[in-house]
Chains A and B, each alone.
Chain A
Amino acid sequence: MERIISVLVENKFGVLARVAGLFSARGYNIESLSVAPTLDPTTSMITIVTVGDDRIIEQIMKQLNKVVEVLKVVDMTETSYLDRETALIKVHTRPEHRDEAMRIADIFRAKIVDSSPTTYTIEVTGDVDKVEALINMLQPLGIKELIRTGRVAIAREAKVPSRRESQAAKA
């Protein structure tokens, strides 16, 4: 099962190597990885997407917690969360395809951020399904280059219950 693990770490050199090393030393693959400082510049958030059964994930989380510079580890998939990814897609556009490319970008609320006589570069942000759907749609036109940021995730705040839900709760 796919998991998104958020790891809050001290912003020091070598920390990322230690975190990544925990995965590689056990033969686990990292599907995607993103790192950037948080509001507090002395800490960084590492978001890791990985695949494993419950036992493997439990072991990974415990091992991550053991690293001295790791401050907090959260398995986002166990909570309610939002995740986003950005992709930059450079598409071949022969004259007869330029309109079609724009239309597809429009449907996905993606932006054309660069244009040349033979290409468009399209920027899209969304959850993984949206990004992949767009890629699939653009594939027939010919994708020249594709760059993805890897996913970031944030926990949702406690939501306000809908009227129907609160009625159900009363009953």
Chain B
Amino acid sequence: MKKTGAEIFVESLKQEGVKVLFGIPGGVVLKIFDVLHQQKDVEVVLTRHEQGAAHMAEGYAKATGKVGVALVTSGPGMTNIVTGLADAYMDSVPMVAFTGQVSTNLIGNDAFQEADNVGISRPCTKHNVLVKDVRDLARTIKEAFYIARTGRPGPVLVDIPKDVSTEKAEFKYPDKVNLRGYSPTYDGDKHQIKQAAEEILKAKKPVIYIGGGALFSDAAHEILEFAEMTQIPVTMTLMGLSAFPGGHSLSMGMLGMHGTYWSNMAMHYADLVIAVGARFDDRVTGKIPEFCPEARFVHIDIDPTSIRKNVEAHIPIVGDVKTVLRQLNVVLRSMDGNQREIKELRRPWQKQIAEWKQAHPLKYHQDEKSTKPQYVIEELYKLTHDKGIIATDVGQHQMWAAQYFKGAKPRTWLTSGGLGTMGFGFPAAIGAQKAYPGELVVCITSEGSFQMNLQELATAATYNLPVKIVLLNNGFHGMVRQWQDLFYDGRYASSYLGKIPDFVKLAGAYGIRGLRALKPAEVEPVLREGLKHKGPVLMDFPVYPFENCYPMIPAGAAQHEMVLEDPPKLTKAQRGRVAKKKPEEGEGVLPA
């Protein structure tokens, strides 16, 4: 029996096991939404902005490992998801975005709400297709999901013209895909793996460096086995956090620009770095010529373009992280069963790292007057511990969360790493909450990031998605202000936000519970009450506005040149300058 394009679309989604999609209707996708409305298998979450829909699909995908789905209309609907696509592309998030398009006979005519969706999205998608014939629709959807979730995952855009959704064709969902130009490599080269194993057993100062690829490959178990067997300390990128238990004795926490002192020092003095699903981003390497000067690199990645892009790989292994580590673990086990010897060999190195850790731990000073942002995050961590999922926005709060949260379970840490998208956190938290309605989902954000997508409060309220928002409110674009402090003589160009809404009232306007902690002593009770609340809740924490995030590798510096605290002479003058500008009533929350 023949079906319309819209029916084929919905049937195909069911075949792919899609339970929920995020989106907003519009002229050219009305037929599809009409069909969606008349069935129950695929739920539609109506967002308030298409960017929100894209980040929700990302949050859903990052939390579940399944493909996130967004459906938006042509023209502005599509252009509004571009940030989400670019974000998903940078962070390898499996996602399929369906966009409406004007009817095929109107394409190229500057029709109402027309945009070149495929052209605009080309550089920020793994693949994209304009479906010109309804008979190609089912196959294209099958391929889109396949491409999005296999290999190095990424976003795929499928552009569906209005007439394709209304015309009819025979529906048969293909059993398998046939893409002759696409076949990702999963198994690692045996010879390379053996060579890597030999170097790993020989190395005196090795480090395992884990990126986001480990999470999408579902390799947490293999990494744990690998690290424990070889007794090699582990550091994670911002994207790799939660792939290895943060509380494990071998964990050094995050590395890079705001990573821990000891993980960066370990990298700098390492003789062997085993990169696992990581891409040597500039925020990790700092100054490339001085990056890990003594190290040889084993680089495991499914994407050949990641290898030798930024740094030399002495032993490149192209393949799926989980598969390669399994192969590697087998080889290692066969080569050396003597655990005591390995432990002995690594002891001096572990001792050295422990000394670094002791010399410069993460630190801040909490007094009785104004709340320090790190304090809120530490208190939150004490209360939630290994429970639930954390989504963050982008900026100082994100770095503090990365430093103080020691995620134990994979996929419980959702953040925008590559693109650094402010406004990502809250919708991503909603997406994750939709996937796991019964779990605790906390969004750690700030007044700057949150205001970039706060319209989704309505979505959280409508679907009663009980996201707990922890908002660190310092009245500034904090990371920008920090750089201005350090590199622009404290001239706060456009980083001070001026009028900031009363977030408690704002939450109230959406029918959401709002709470505020004005003093450090109120932080813990507010968190406790907020986390206990059944529905969504917004907790506003006015914090000390001039706290800077340390340690820090200044841009262009090398790993071992970390700055550990505020340079003393700068701060006084700068703080004096800002203190002169007393905020007026209702303006930014600057605690006395």
Task: Check A21 against B123 for contact (C-beta < 8 Å).
Answer: yes
Task: Check A68 against B122 for contact (C-beta < 8 Å).
Answer: no
Task: Check A67 against B122 for contact (C-beta < 8 Å).
Answer: no
Q: Say if the beta carbon of A63 comes within 8 Å of chain B.
A: yes
Among candidates A25, A62, A71, residue contacting B305 with C-beta atoms closer than 8 Å: A62
Task: Check A68 against B179 for contact (C-beta < 8 Å).
Answer: yes
Residues of chain A contacted by B118 (CB below 8 angstroms) = 14
Q: Say if the beta carbon of A69 comes within 8 Å of chain B.
A: yes
Task: Check B305 against A17 for contact (C-beta < 8 Å).
Answer: no
Task: Check A59 against B309 for contact (C-beta < 8 Å).
Answer: yes
Task: Check A67 against B305 for contact (C-beta < 8 Å).
Answer: no
Among candidates B122, B179, B181, B308, residue contacting A17 with C-beta atoms closer than 8 Å: B122
Among candidates B123, B128, B305, residue contacting A66 with C-beta atoms closer than 8 Å: B305
Q: Say if the beta carbon of B194 comes within 8 Å of chain A.
A: no
Among candidates A25, A55, A65, A71, residue contacting B123 with C-beta atoms closer than 8 Å: A25
Contact with A along B84-128 (1 / 0, CB 8 A): 000000000000000000000000000000000011001100111
Q: Which of A51-73 contact B (CB under 8 A)?
A: 55, 58-59, 62-63, 65-71
Q: Say if the beta carbon of B182 comes within 8 Å of chain A.
A: yes
Task: Check A70 against B181 for contact (C-beta < 8 Å).
Answer: yes
Residues of chain B contacted by A65 (CB below 8 angstroms) = 304
Q: Which of A39-55 contact B (CB under 8 A)?
A: 55
Residues of chain A contacted by B181 (CB below 8 angstroms) = 9-10, 67-71
Residues of chain A contacted by B572 (CB below 8 angstroms) = none
Residues of chain A contacted by B128 (CB below 8 angstroms) = 14
* Complex alpha-carbon distance, A82 and B419, angstroms: 43
* Complex alpha-carbon distance, A9 and B122, angstroms: 17
* Complex alpha-carbon distance, A70 and B122, angstroms: 15
Nearest-neighbour CB distance to chain B for A4, whole angstroms, equals 21
Q: Say if the beta carbon of B539 comes within 8 Å of chain A.
A: no
* Complex alpha-carbon distance, A68 and B128, angstroms: 10
Task: Check B147 against A17 for contact (C-beta < 8 Å).
Answer: no
Task: Check B182 against A55 for contact (C-beta < 8 Å).
Answer: no
Task: Check B305 against A68 for contact (C-beta < 8 Å).
Answer: no
Task: Check A21 against B308 for contact (C-beta < 8 Å).
Answer: no
Task: Check A71 against B180 for contact (C-beta < 8 Å).
Answer: yes
Task: Check B130 against A14 for contact (C-beta < 8 Å).
Answer: yes
Q: Say if the beta carbon of B303 comes within 8 Å of chain A.
A: yes
* Interface size grouping (class) on chain A: 20 to 34
* Complex alpha-carbon distance, A21 and B125, angstroms: 12
Interface centre among A17, A65, A68 (most CB of B within 10 A): A68
Known: A10-B181, A18-B122, A21-B123. A68 touches B308 (CB 8 A): no
Residues of chain A contacted by B179 (CB below 8 angstroms) = 68
Nearest-neighbour CB distance to chain B for A52, whole angstroms, equals 14
* Interface size grouping (class) on chain B: 10 to 19
Residues of chain B contacted by A25 (CB below 8 angstroms) = 123
Known: A17-B122, A70-B181. A62 touches B304 (CB 8 A): yes
Q: Which of A6-27 contact B (CB under 8 A)?
A: 9-10, 13-14, 17-18, 21, 25
Residues of chain A contacted by B303 (CB below 8 angstroms) = 66
* Complex alpha-carbon distance, A69 and B119, angstroms: 16
Task: Check A55 against B122 for contact (C-beta < 8 Å).
Answer: no
Nearest-neighbour CB distance to chain B for A119, whole angstroms, equals 38
Interface centre among B123, B181, B308 (most CB of A within 10 A): B181
Residues of chain B contacted by A69 (CB below 8 angstroms) = 181
* Complex alpha-carbon distance, A45 and B179, angstroms: 18
User: B307's closest neighbor in chain A, by CB?
Assistant: A62
Residues of chain A contacted by B119 (CB below 8 angstroms) = 17
* Complex alpha-carbon distance, A62 and B309, angstroms: 10
Residues of chain B contacted by A9 (CB below 8 angstroms) = 181
Residues of chain B contacted by A58 (CB below 8 angstroms) = 308
Nearest-neighbour CB distance to chain B for A24, whole angstroms, equals 9
Task: Check B123 against A59 for contact (C-beta < 8 Å).
Answer: no
* Complex alpha-carbon distance, A66 and B308, angstroms: 15
* Complex alpha-carbon distance, A37 and B42, angstroms: 42
Residues of chain A contacted by B182 (CB below 8 angstroms) = 68
Residues of chain A contacted by B305 (CB below 8 angstroms) = 59, 62-63, 66
User: B143's closest neighbor in chain A, by CB?
Assistant: A68
* Complex alpha-carbon distance, A85 and B325, angstroms: 49
Q: Which of B490-547 contact A (CB under 8 A)?
A: none
Contact with A along B17-33 (1 / 0, CB 8 A): 00000000000000000
* Complex alpha-carbon distance, A55 and B147, angstroms: 27
Contact with A along B130-158 (1 / 0, CB 8 A): 10000000000000000100000000000
Residues of chain B contacted by A71 (CB below 8 angstroms) = 180-181
Task: Check A55 against B304 for contact (C-beta < 8 Å).
Answer: no
Contact with A along B297-309 (1 / 0, CB 8 A): 0000001110011
User: B125's closest neighbor in chain A, by CB?
Assistant: A18
User: A15's closest neighbor in chain B, by CB?
Assistant: B181
Residues of chain B contacted by A17 (CB below 8 angstroms) = 119, 122
* Complex alpha-carbon distance, A13 and B179, angstroms: 16
Q: Which of B278-329 contact A (CB under 8 A)?
A: 303-305, 308-309
* Complex alpha-carbon distance, A55 and B133, angstroms: 41
Nearest-neighbour CB distance to chain A for B566, whole angstroms, equals 38
Residues of chain B contacted by A66 (CB below 8 angstroms) = 303-305
Nearest-neighbour CB distance to chain B for A60, whole angstroms, equals 10
Nearest-neighbour CB distance to chain B for A31, whole angstroms, equals 22
Q: Name 24 A/B residue pairs within 8 A (Cβ), A-sorted.
A: A9-B181, A10-B180, A14-B122, A14-B128, A17-B122, A18-B122, A21-B123, A25-B123, A55-B308, A59-B305, A59-B309, A62-B304, A62-B305, A65-B304, A66-B303, A66-B304, A68-B127, A68-B147, A68-B181, A68-B182, A69-B181, A70-B181, A71-B180, A71-B181
Top 8 A-B pairs ranked by shortest CB distance?
Answer: A62-B305, A71-B181, A68-B182, A68-B127, A62-B304, A70-B181, A69-B181, A25-B123
Interface residues of A (CB under 8 A from B): 9-10, 13-14, 17-18, 21, 25, 55, 58-59, 62-63, 65-71
Interface residues of B (CB under 8 A from A): 118-119, 122-123, 126-128, 130, 147, 179-182, 303-305, 308-309
